[in-house]
Amino acid sequence: MPSPSQALHSDIEAIPENLFREPIDYLYADHFRQRIVCKLLDEIAFDPVATESARMAAIALAYLERELPQHIADEEQELFPRLLGRCGPADNGERILVMLSEEHKRDSDLCEAVLEGLRAAAEGHEPSHCAAFVRAAAAFAEAQRRHLAWEDEVILPLARERLSNEDLADMGRSMAQRRGANYPD
């Protein structure tokens, strides 16, 4: 069985580093990957000990442990503060960004329960407290889908309108640095 990081890159496509020059597109691409993880969670929750569950759990685990924290940092440290500074009262940006930040905090606790179950499933074991894992995985996937809908339909389009080229370049550089990647010239 491939390591979780190999599984991630073979089953969930890596985002090309040149997208750091287009950080909004990078976030959209990562949202697509998050939806893949949500689908995997749905399938694992349906049958945590199915033949493919260990492989799917390893993929989801790798993403949730390594990639999702970076993505959340991209939003909390780069996108949200910049957008707050550029939104006007009519945008309702502050209210929505506060809501999304609160969801990040709530989802963190739910994610911990999911990670525990995924670790067991990735090793081919039924998660302890399997019913609780199934509920947590389903709730986490549903919460992520709602969260992504807000971001894809409201926040990222607003960011395209409001953020300056300088904002976007600084954001892309920070995102690349967070991942130990070079910002493309």
Output the pLDDT for position 150: 97
What domains does the chain contain, in order, with CATH numbers? Answer: 4-178 (1.20.120.520)
Runs of H (alpha helix) within 87-162:
93-122, 130-150, 156-162
Tens of pLDDT, residues 13-68: 999 999 999 999 999 999 999 999 999 999 988 887 777 888 999 999 999 999 99
What is the amino acid identity at position 24?
A: I
Is residue 176 scored above 90 in pLDDT? yes
Q: Name the band, by pLDDT with cuts 50, 70 and 90, for residue 128.
A: low
Is residue 121 scored above 90 in pLDDT? no
Best CA proximity match to 43, nearest among 58, 56, 59: 56
Is residue 6 scored above 50 in pLDDT? no
Instruction: Yes or no: say if 121 and 53 are a contact pair by the CB < 8 Å rule.
Output: yes
Q: Is the dihedral of CA 83, 177, 149, 152 positive or negative?
A: positive
